[in-house]
Amino acid sequence: MLDSNKGTSKVIVAPKIFDINKNENRGNLTIFLGKLRKYFTHNGSHEITIDFTQTEKFIAAGTLLFYSELAYLKQFINNETRLRYIPPKNPKAFEVLIQIELYKLCGIRKPKSKNANKYDDVLNWKVACGNVVNNEQCAPTIEAYEGQLAEPLIDGIFKGLAEAMTNTVHHAYAEIREDGLNHKPSKNNWWMFSQARDGELTVVFCDLGIGIPRSLPKKHPSIFHKMLSLGKISDHQCIASSVELNATSTKMPGRGKGLGNIIEIASKNKAGGVIIYSNKGMYRLGPDATEPFSRDLKNSILGTIICWNVTLSKVGL
């Protein structure tokens, strides 16, 4: 189905799968988000309808990217464009949009749930956002499992989230984002999904700033120029360098900051995995992996997303 006009409303067809890990899905999603930005800021009809009819699956990272982009447009562009949506035919996808409260971003009445109790993996997702360093947004999800998370792991997760928020608030929005809007927001927002379900804690964190590859030269110019002297620098190499720099910022075990702290805690516990997406780059450290895997993907997400999950158990470090 192609985009179209319905009366005075511009109709944009949503992707079948909201995902940023596979190149095909990522490409479809980033193209969709580009159209959304274009029509939202240059829409003479002042009404946009997102058609989710064909959407079948919402994967956490891709869904959070979409949610963050839409919230960004609503909060910071602040024009008179009205937003509506046609719900998915897929019953589970239908419930996802209710759970993430898309209706609130659209300013419409909450749709009536059809199968809410059937999908506990949907009901357990929580949404948070902010523009300050505030771990209270995710504390209830994490603290509810204190008996199943070793104390250093809890401490590491909170420190990692706090550092991710700090980087967002103080560094991520240092320049204008390369999204064609030529707009620098007055607030440096972050968005987050969190879930504790079936013995696993999952947290997904997003900012729509300039990304790690663009911030690395500003925060660590000597390291960046050294990398540059060795040849062309890819986005995934910048993520890896940022992780290594943060992880070795002090010599005390478990005291690394930010991205390095999250990865160090998860890898030492053999109890989870971490994926970092920033612009075109992807960096992954899975459970039982001895070395991280990183590569560049085809399309930039124009921001940074950190995803990690930790297996809940009563086993300590």
**Segment 275-286 mean pLDDT:** 93
Check whether residue 139 and residue 89 sit in a common domain.
no
Check residues 33 and 121 and name the one with the higher pLDDT: 33
* pLDDT category of residue 63 using cuts at 50, 70 and 90: very high
Check whether residue 299 and residue 233 sit in a common domain.
yes
**Segment 126-154 mean pLDDT:** 76
* pLDDT category of residue 262 using cuts at 50, 70 and 90: low
Check whether residue 117 and residue 143 sit in a common domain.
no
Check residues 137 and 88 and name the one with the higher pLDDT: 88
Residue 249's pLDDT is what?
47
Residue 267 forms part of a structural domain: yes
Check whether residue 250 and residue 184 sit in a common domain.
yes
Check whether residue 234 and residue 270 sit in a common domain.
yes
pLDDT > 70 in the chain, percent: 80
Check whether residue 172 and residue 295 sit in a common domain.
yes
Residue 254's pLDDT is what?
35
- Is the pLDDT at 316 greater than 50? The verdict is no
Residue 268's pLDDT is what?
64
Residue 206 forms part of a structural domain: yes
Which one of 70, 96, 123 terminates a domain?
123
Check whether residue 297 and residue 173 sit in a common domain.
yes
Cα–Cα distance between 144 and 148 in angstroms, integer?
A: 9
Number of domains in the chain: 2
- CATH number of the domain at 276, please: 3.30.565
Check residues 145 and 294 and name the one with the higher pLDDT: 294
pLDDT > 90 in the chain, percent: 38
Which one of 86, 103, 123 terminates a domain?
123
Residue 312's pLDDT is what?
73
Which one of 96, 123, 150 terminates a domain?
123
Check whether residue 286 and residue 214 sit in a common domain.
yes
Check whether residue 258 and residue 227 sit in a common domain.
yes
- Is the pLDDT at 178 greater than 60? The verdict is yes
Residue 317 forms part of a structural domain: no
Q: Which domain holds residue 210?
A: 129-311
Check whether residue 156 and residue 204 sit in a common domain.
yes
| Cβ(196)–Cβ(124) below 8 Å | yes
Residue 316 forms part of a structural domain: no
Check whether residue 115 and residue 136 sit in a common domain.
no
Cut 0.75: pTM above it = yes
Check residues 145 and 69 and name the one with the higher pLDDT: 69
Check whether residue 32 and residue 138 sit in a common domain.
no
Check residues 143 and 307 and name the one with the higher pLDDT: 307
